[in-house]
Structure 1
Amino acid sequence: MYDIIIIGGGAAGLTAALYAGRGGLKALIIEKMFVGGQAATTYEVDNYPGFNERISGPDLVMKMEAHAKKFGAEIKYEDVVDVDVDSIVKTVKTNKSVYEAKVLILAMGANPKELGLDKEKKFRGAGVSYCATCDGAFYRDKEVAVVGGGDTALEDALFLARFCPKVYLIHRRDAFRAVKVLQDAVLENDKIEPVWDSTVEEILGEDQVEGIKVKNLKTNETKDLKVEGLFVAIGVVPNSGLIVKKVETNNAGYIITDENMQTNKFGVFAAGDIREKILRQIVTAAADGAIATYAAERYINENKWE
């Protein structure tokens, strides 16, 4: 039996395993595909403390993985199909085996909603982004577009307008869904141009984003916008299907925890993008992982496991 089983090998899961190993705990990470989560698909990272020179997402993830393994973290690449969070001993069933642990840390992450366009996946990291606060600085002095009409989209547009001369804000309706204070700020900003009643029909360019084709849904007219960055802000989906109705989540499916990453089930913690929080970044995921393991260690000690 393991001390801690961590489902998910992103920044949160790897950090949780690192802290477990340093604390003398036996930890297992179960990851479906590859470690790193969204960070592994990020072209460059320049806002992770300690790396003042830009580092690629995959390189940063490799360093995190090596660090966790240095302290004894075990990683198995299997697909989790069920978990028992109600028993004292937590059980994780995969497509290959069944594992038991004293503590379970849920770190399955979240994925941004995509537009479903040709070249969207190809150009991720080469002009297509789903995180303005992560990648916006790479587009200084360049014209960009943001897709969406909610709080995140408007916040992204305002953020990008700090260093981009032009920000197109493309929304499929004729009014934003964001809170009024954000709407007012966007409409008062000369750098931001709303493109109402419109959707992005095509991404232009051969090796990177060179522009987008936009269609007006009321007139069916199309036009090309010359932009070098396309920021998609139409929502994020937590990978919480495995634990819905097993631990408490909000209406969007994010796991609700206290400040110690504790869920509503004893011995079950959550960390990273799958958790209800206001900022989803590599650094906040890592912090969540460290806190979750620290709290898990206290839980184990208080329950006097042999």
Structure 2
Amino acid sequence: MTVYKTIIIGTGPGGLTSAIYLARANLSPLVIEGPEPGGQLTTTTEVENFPGFPDGIMGPELMANMRQQAERFGAEFRSGWVNSVDLSKRPFTLNVEGIGELKAESIIVSTGASAKYLGIPGERDNVGRGVSTCATCDGFFFRGKKIIVVGGGDSAMEEANFLTRFASEVVLVNRRTELRASKIMQDRARANEKISWNLNRTPVEVVADDNGVKGLKVLNNETGQEEVIEASGIFIAIGHTPNTKFLGGQITTDETGYILVQPGTTLTNIPGVFACGDVQDSRYRQAISAAGSGCMAALDCERYLEEVEAHVHA
């Protein structure tokens, strides 16, 4: 059985940047592409904040470019779903649905975090057509328009505040009367005159036509009546889930599942296993920061493999 020098799990900006660097270093990485090749960026229509593209670039195109770049230097790509990994002995073993068992001297985990959705009709169909899970990515497209933010935590307050830079009005919808957000975040949002509040409303359906989102149908929990809040955009801000289940608790994570790395590095608690991108970043979650950490993971990994090699020959 082939033992790969490195296997990279995930093909978002972090994983693909790692692949470019490792392939250029002649380490022939194998990249495992999951069911969502290109990660969250493939659900974003236009990316305007990635340096080097003054006119913007479509998310799927940016990811296709990164992939081609990695392939040009010799990275190998295979499609499959990593069910489990055994990190207890070297080489590490990966169980991949559709491929079988794979072995590697080092692993880069770049499986990202999935935005949580409400699971209501019209929501998924309109992602990129007025429904978004990323204010910093898509807020700009709603200049002068009325938009809705759904959520009651800190990230919802933060997104609502941020979106007032662009929107004419931001309506905050939450299914309960109380908010989970910290007092300081709530106060900041309440002090913003562009934010209006629609609390104790449960989202029922995203209302849209051929041109995109028209509003959000909600159930008024006080009256039991359904009503439609008109808006051009709906931002879902109910959190993210890092894709770390397959690691089976072998890698140290925080209480929400984000991988903990040694500060300033991509090193996990297991030597030879590195993490980059949103799977270890609950704070920034940007394509460019993911790509930056992908570069770090590749360099950390390269150094690790050199040290292992030196140790073997010592």
Common fold: TM-score over 0.5: yes
Q: 1:178 aligns with which of 163, 168, 181?
A: 181
Partner of 2:308 in structure 1? 303
Partner of 2:8 in structure 1? 6
Partner of 1:291 in structure 2? 296
Q: Is contact 1:250–1:276 with CA below 8 Å preserved after alignment?
A: no
Query: Does structure 1 residue 203 correspond to structure 2 residue 200?
Result: no
Which SS does the other structure have where 2:189 is aligned? helix
**RMSD, aligned α-carbons:** 1.3
Residue 296 of structure 1 and its aligned partner are, at CA, apart by 0.5
Paired letter, 1:214: V
Give the 4+ runs in structure 1 shifted more than 6 A. Answer: none
Stretches of structure 2 that go unaligned for 5 or more consecutive residues are none
Query: Does structure 1 residue 218 correspond to structure 2 residue 238?
Result: no
Query: Does structure 1 residue 140 correspond to structure 2 residue 143?
Result: yes
Partner of 1:23 in structure 2? 25
Instruction: Give the distance between the partners of 2:84 and 2:217, measured in 1 at CA.
Output: 43
Provide, for residues 76-113 of structure 1, a one-character-per-residue CA deviation record: whole Å limited to 9, x for no partner: 00222221212131121212222222111111111111
Q: Is contact 2:123–2:205 with CA below 8 Å preserved after alignment?
A: no
Aligned residues: 306
Residue 34 of structure 1 and its aligned partner are, at CA, apart by 4.5
Q: Is contact 2:121–2:204 with CA below 8 Å preserved after alignment?
A: no
Query: Does structure 1 residue 160 correspond to structure 2 residue 158?
Result: no
Q: Is contact 1:238–1:254 with CA below 8 Å preserved after alignment?
A: yes
Residue 131 of structure 1 and its aligned partner are, at CA, apart by 0.5
Instruction: Give the distance between the partners of 1:185 and 1:78, measured in 2 at CA.
Output: 45
Partner of 1:87 in structure 2? 89
Q: 2:74 aligns with which of 72, 75, 78?
A: 72
TM-score by length of 1: 0.97
Provide, for residues 120-148 of structure 1, a one-character-per-residue CA deviation record: whole Å limited to 9, x for no partner: 11110000000001110111111000000
Q: Is contact 2:277–2:294 with CA below 8 Å preserved after alignment?
A: yes
TM-score by length of 2: 0.94
Provide, for residues 185-208 of structure 1, a one-character-per-residue CA deviation record: whole Å limited to 9, x for no partner: 111111100111112212112121
Provide, for residues 56-84 of structure 1, a one-character-per-residue CA deviation record: whole Å limited to 9, x for no partner: 11111111111111111100002222212
Paired letter, 2:266: M
Residue 244 of structure 1 and its aligned partner are, at CA, apart by 3.3
Partner of 1:271 in structure 2? 276
More strand by share: 2
Query: Does structure 1 residue 103 correspond to structure 2 residue 106?
Result: yes
Percent of pairs with identical residues: 41
Paired letter, 2:72: K
Partner of 1:151 in structure 2? 154
Which SS does the other structure have where 2:5 is aligned? strand
Instruction: Give the distance between the partners of 2:178 and 2:54, measured in 1 at CA.
Output: 40
